[in-house]
């Protein structure tokens, strides 16, 4: 049984999946934002490691962009948004945390079932990369459905996009990845800016918001 | 010769984007509105020149029978919307509106012309951002809320579509195929069928949200109700075409692999669900703009259903439904937008009796509703007739649910037409003698022009255009 660089590449993906469950579990908004920042850092690590394994320098750029946006800029902005919008520090979860976690486990099972036939052609590595990516995407979707808090819905959307980017960086020779990653982050940035403008249709300067 | 050497497809993308930069910088709303009309007119002229340019690829872009009629249509609607919004009273932030308008036009053209599924995804991301900018340009709390909802739902769709794009690339990875549609279609038979099948589910769910298909459709009524008056013609008239065209290109790839799941069944299911939901929702009597949003959800659902049925005849019906919907929707959006301005009301009951009080507007709106409902002799009816004929021959059991949904939609639209246009009297409004003023011409010219085009497509489809549509109908498979 051998253990190679590609196996290490599964570690950040697995960590991201674990953090997706933490996001489902955390009811405190600030704690969820911190977990999301860690997930962003893991995504950057996954992209950088894949860049080294695949010999694809453009993935280092993706790692840099994702780290800057999802581990630093977005979490800071989400914290400010949470403070300004005056949302409850403890978010309401539809159906309770336990039900959310159970649904999350079911979705991971679904991801395994959906991806299983793809590896049949002999590319087992692909399947192992794809299961965490699809699971993270589905758990992000679940977070958006279960949480009514705008900040956590945004975290869900960003986590969903992280799953898609994880799949893109894991796939050798995937073209346009830096462009796709930048465009995805641009869209998330606009959604985030839109959340700032939501309150009364105008940007609420620091200190004025509830 | 000179024409074939011009990079017209690129110009169609770059001209609106250059226009967006200039328009966003112009301080005068009045000058910006006129410049917006100018840019739209030049873009339309360029789009029409494409009919004389040889089909084929130009780097990341390609011109074929499938995107050519949709491109021409989109720039016709674009010019009509620019003229209408130029004549309407200033709403919200003009810089954001005009900049977003041209950014959107360039992005939807890029999505239609794209030869790479990665570029199509990028284009639809830009179109979504531009759409949100247009909606939020109203600067009212409900408009900003609607823009945020649009971004959240379509952002979800875009995330799902990105995953579908990665899966499609994964299916073709051992063959060394890139993201080019033509290469993928050529190698589809050797692609991993399981990855192909899964990719289509994600692409349909993702781009379906941008097209306004159930279940990620709920942004459409809010955005139309709260956005600027001319905006529905763009966001529900053109964005669904670009999104559905991308789905059709993926369907063509999947259709070329006999081991992959039949993609039509998913389109049939989402299309039918959209029609049935719209048939129920159309009976809600509130703001008129919401009614037209639901009509769009239903009609786009019908087009998706036709493409799901597949084959040249059903695909032709789907294309006619897309063309007819965009024209009818544009006319209805401009009509109801002007009605809101002249009546100062937004509810269907409050605006009633338009034919009596404002005949030019009332009759334009009545015909637009008829065109949008799929009544003869407009283009939507031609598509509907073709779809029902084909369905009767190939899947008669589906006629019952589709027919029920269709009847519900048409009955609701005709009832709305009665209330809005034909009921009541206009005795209290003094009639003005003489022709239209400049403002009236800019408000009423676009809907009447689009109605004439919808009529021509319905009763006298020109031979070359019919041949082009027939060629286009063979592409999705």
Mean pLDDT of A3-27: 86
Residue B162, chain A, CB below 8 Å: the answer is: yes
Q: Which tokens go with B17? A: 């984007």
The SS3 call for residue A152 is helix
Mean pLDDT lowest among A97-101, B238-242, B443-447: A97-101
Q: Do B125 and A186 lie within an 8 Å CB cutoff?
A: yes
Instruction: Show residues of chain B in contact with A174, CB under 8 Å.
Output: 166, 169
Residue B455 CA to residue B380 CA, distance in Å, equals 9
Q: Do A187 and B163 lie within an 8 Å CB cutoff?
A: no
Instruction: Name the A residues in 114-143 with CB < 8 Å from any B CB.
Output: 114-115, 117-118, 120-121, 123, 126, 130, 133-134, 137, 140-141
Mean pLDDT lowest among A108-122, B174-188, B292-306, B417-431: B417-431
- Residue B117's contacts (CB-CB under 8 Å, 6 or more residues apart) are B165, B168, B179, B181, B184, B246, B249, B250
- Nearest residue, CB atoms, B156 vs list A117, A160, A168: A160
| Omega before B377 within 30 of 0, i.e. cis | yes
Q: Do B194 and A117 lie within an 8 Å CB cutoff?
A: yes
For residue B196, name the pLDDT band (cuts at 50, 70, 90). Answer: very high
- Nearest residue, CB atoms, B170 vs list A120, A171, A194: A171
pLDDT at A5: 67
Residue B42 CA to residue B64 CA, distance in Å, equals 21
Q: Which tokens go with B33? A: 């509105």
pLDDT at A199: 61
Residue A157 CA to residue A151 CA, distance in Å, equals 10
Mean pLDDT of chain B: 91
Q: Which residues pair with A90 in a beta bridge?
A: A28
pLDDT of B24-48, one tens digit each?
A: 999 888 899 999 999 999 999 999 9
Phi and psi at B347, nearest 5°, equal: -80, 155
**Radius of gyration for the alpha carbons in chain A, expressed in angstroms and rounded:** 17
Mean pLDDT lowest among A194-208, B2-16, B228-242, B271-285: A194-208
Q: Measure the N-to-C terminal CA separation of chain A; round to a whole number of Å.
A: 58
Provide the phi-psi class of B353: left if phi over 0, else alpha when psi is between -120 and 50, else beta. left
Instruction: Show residues of chain A in contact with B136, CB under 8 Å.
Output: 194, 197
pLDDT at A172: 81
pLDDT of B328-366, one tens digit each?
A: 999 999 999 999 888 888 788 888 888 888 889 999 999
CB atoms closer than 10 angstroms to residue A1? 2
pLDDT > 80? residue B134:
yes
pLDDT of A97-108, one tens digit each?
A: 888 899 999 999
Residue from B233, B229, B290 nearest B88 by CA: B229
Residue A79, chain B, CB below 8 Å: the answer is: no
- Nearest residue, CB atoms, B144 vs list A180, A190, A197: A197
Instruction: Show residues of chain A in contact with B158, CB under 8 Å.
Output: 184, 187
Total beta-carbon pairs less than 8 A apart between chain A and chain B: 123
Residue from B337, B296, B354 nearest B446 by CA: B337
Residue A81 CA to residue A87 CA, distance in Å, equals 9
Residue B92, chain A, CB below 8 Å: the answer is: no
The SS3 call for residue B180 is strand
Q: Do the beta carbons of residue B264 and residue B308 sit within 8 Å?
A: yes
pLDDT at B93: 82
Q: Please classify residue A179 by burial: count the beta carbons closer than 10 Å to its beta carbon, then call 0-12 exposed, 13-18 middle and 19+ buried.
A: middle
Mean pLDDT lowest among A69-73, A103-107, A119-123: A119-123
Q: Which tokens go with B302? A: 């019908």
Q: How far does B218 lie from chain A, in Å, by closest CA?
A: 14
Residue A78 CA to residue A33 CA, distance in Å, equals 7
pLDDT at B242: 97
Q: Do the beta carbons of residue B180 and residue B116 sit within 8 Å?
A: yes
- Residue B236's contacts (CB-CB under 8 Å, 6 or more residues apart) are B212, B220, B224, B293, B296, B300, B329
How far, rounded to the nearest angstrom, does the alpha carbon of residue A208 sit from its chain's CA centroid? 30
pLDDT at B356: 85
Query: What's the Cα-to-Cα distance from B418 to each of B7, B375, B471, rounded to whole Å?
Result: 49, 14, 39
Query: What's the Cα-to-Cα distance from A60 to each of A16, A46, A169, B355, rounded to whole Å?
Result: 18, 10, 10, 64
Annotated domain spans of chain A: 5-195
Mean pLDDT lowest among A78-87, B61-70, B276-285: A78-87
- Residue A156's contacts (CB-CB under 8 Å, 6 or more residues apart) are A23, A140, A141, A142, A143, A144, A145, A147
- Indicate the pTM of the whole model: 0.93
- Residue B133's contacts (CB-CB under 8 Å, 6 or more residues apart) are B96, B99, B100, B103, B147
- Nearest residue, CB atoms, A187 vs list B125, B139, B178: B125
Complex confidence, ipTM: 0.91
């Amino acid at each position: 049984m051998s253990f190679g660089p590609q196996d290490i590449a599964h570690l950040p993906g697995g960590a991201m999946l674990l953090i997706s469950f933490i996001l489902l579990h955390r009811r405190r908004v600030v704690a969820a934002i911190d977990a999301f920042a860690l997930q962003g850092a893991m995504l950057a690590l996954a992209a950088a490691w894949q860049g080294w394994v695949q010999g694809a320098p453009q993935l280092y750029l993706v790692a840099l962009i994702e780290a800057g946006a999802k581990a630093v800029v977005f979490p800071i902005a989400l914290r400010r948004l949470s403070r300004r919008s005056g949302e409850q520090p403890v978010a309401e979860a539809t159906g309770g945390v336990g039900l959310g976690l159970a649904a999350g486990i079911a979705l991971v099972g679904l991801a395994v079932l959906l991806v299983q036939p793809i590896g049949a052609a002999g590319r087992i590595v692909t399947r192992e990369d794809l299961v965490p990516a699809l699971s993270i995407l589905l758990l992000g979707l679940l977070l958006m459905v279960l949480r009514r808090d705008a900040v956590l819905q945004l975290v869900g959307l960003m986590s969903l996009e992280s799953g898609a980017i994880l799949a893109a960086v894991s796939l050798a020779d995937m073209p346009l990845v830096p462009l796709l990653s930048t465009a995805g982050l641009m869209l998330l940035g606009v959604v985030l800016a839109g959340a700032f403008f939501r309150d009364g249709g105008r940007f609420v300067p620091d200190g004025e918001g509830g | 010769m000179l024409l074939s050497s011009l990079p017209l497809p690129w110009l169609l993308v770059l001209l609106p984007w250059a226009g967006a930069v200039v328009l966003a910088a112009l301080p005068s709303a009045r000058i910006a509105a006129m410049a917006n009309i100018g840019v739209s007119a030049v873009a339309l002229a360029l789009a029409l020149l494409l009919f004389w340019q040889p089909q084929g690829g130009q780097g990341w872009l390609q011109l074929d029978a499938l995107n050519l009629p949709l491109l021409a249509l989109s720039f016709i609607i674009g010019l009509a919307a620019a003229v209408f919004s130029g004549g309407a009273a200033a709403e919200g932030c003009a810089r954001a509106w005009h900049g977003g308008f041209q950014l959107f036009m360039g992005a939807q053209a890029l999505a239609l012309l794209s030869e790479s599924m990665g570029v199509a995804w990028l284009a639809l991301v830009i179109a979504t951002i531009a759409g949100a900018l247009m909606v939020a340009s109203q600067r009212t709390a409900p408009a900003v809320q609607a823009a945020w909802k649009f971004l959240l739902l379509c952002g979800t769709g875009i995330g799902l579509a990105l995953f579908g794009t990665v899966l499609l690339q994964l299916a073709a990875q051992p063959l060394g195929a890139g993201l080019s549609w033509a290469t993928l279609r050529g190698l589809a038979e050797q692609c991993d069928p399981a990855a192909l099948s899964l990719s289509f589910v994600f692409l349909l769910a993702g781009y379906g949200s941008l097209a306004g298909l159930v279940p990620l459709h709920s942004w459409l009524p809010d955005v139309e109700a709260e956005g600027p008056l001319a905006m529905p013609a763009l966001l529900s008239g053109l964005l669904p075409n670009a999104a559905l065209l991308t789905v059709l290109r993926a369907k063509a790839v999947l259709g070329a692999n006999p081991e992959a799941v039949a993609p039509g069944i998913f389109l049939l299911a989402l299309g039918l669900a959209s029609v049935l939901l719209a048939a129920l929702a159309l009976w809600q009597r509130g703001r008129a703009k919401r009614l037209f949003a639901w009509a769009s959800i239903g009609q786009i659902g019908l087009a998706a259903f036709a493409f799901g049925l597949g084959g040249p005849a059903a695909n032709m019906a789907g294309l006619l439904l897309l063309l007819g919907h965009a024209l009818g929707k544009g006319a209805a959006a401009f009509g109801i937008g002007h009605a809101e301005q002249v009546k100062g009301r937004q509810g269907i009951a409050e605006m009633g009796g338009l034919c009596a009080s404002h005949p030019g507007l009332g009759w334009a709106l009545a015909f637009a509703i008829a065109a949008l409902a799929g009544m003869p002799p407009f283009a939507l009816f031609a598509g509907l007739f073709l779809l029902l004929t084909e369905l009767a021959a190939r899947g008669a059991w589906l006629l019952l649910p589709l027919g029920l949904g269709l009847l519900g939609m048409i009955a609701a639209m005709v009832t709305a037409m009665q209330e809005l246009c034909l009921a009541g009297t206009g005795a209290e409004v003094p009639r003005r003698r003489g022709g239209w003023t400049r403002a009236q011409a800019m408000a009423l010219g676009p809907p009447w022009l689009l109605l004439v085009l919808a009529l021509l497509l319905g009763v006298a489809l020109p031979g070359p255009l019919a041949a082009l549509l027939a060629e286009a109908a063979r592409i999705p498979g």
